[in-house]
Amino acid sequence: MGRPLGSKNKPKSPMIIARDSADALHSHIIEVAPGADVATCVVEYARRRGRSVCLLGASGVVADVAVHGAAALLPGRFEHLSVMGTVLPPPAQPGASGLSVLLSAG
């Protein structure tokens, strides 16, 4: 079985997008001030814009890290190795957003 004899892929006309959709994916750079809480800055950015944020990466050094669910602060400087996650603006359910961070104490 297979394709009928003589059949072939029909050429497709190119897709032309005349304008951006309001829901189109846009890249942004968020610069977090020294001493500011990174997660809070990203959440506030999403809330102010009323948009979901898909965090694909980060670079830089953070200090005095508070781990979610832990009662202690990790003192010192840490290099970002990997950061990813999704932040949803209200009225998203609590716990619908999350960030995954991999740090190195160098």
- Neighbouring CB atoms inside 10 A of 88's CB total 17
Give the amino acid at 56: L
Does a cis peptide bond (omega within 30 degrees of 0) precede residue 14?
no
Per-residue pLDDT of the chain (106 residues; tens, 9 = 90+): 677 777 777 888 888 877 777 777 888 888 889 888 888 898 899 889 888 899 888 888 999 888 877 777 889 999 988 889 999 887 888 788 888 888 898 6
Please state whether the predicted TM-score (pTM) of the whole model is above 0.85.
no
Please report the pLDDT score of residue 47 as a whole number.
87
Residue position matching structure tokens 């897709």: 15
> Quick one: how far is CA 66 from the chain centroid?
20
The domains of the chain are located at 38-104
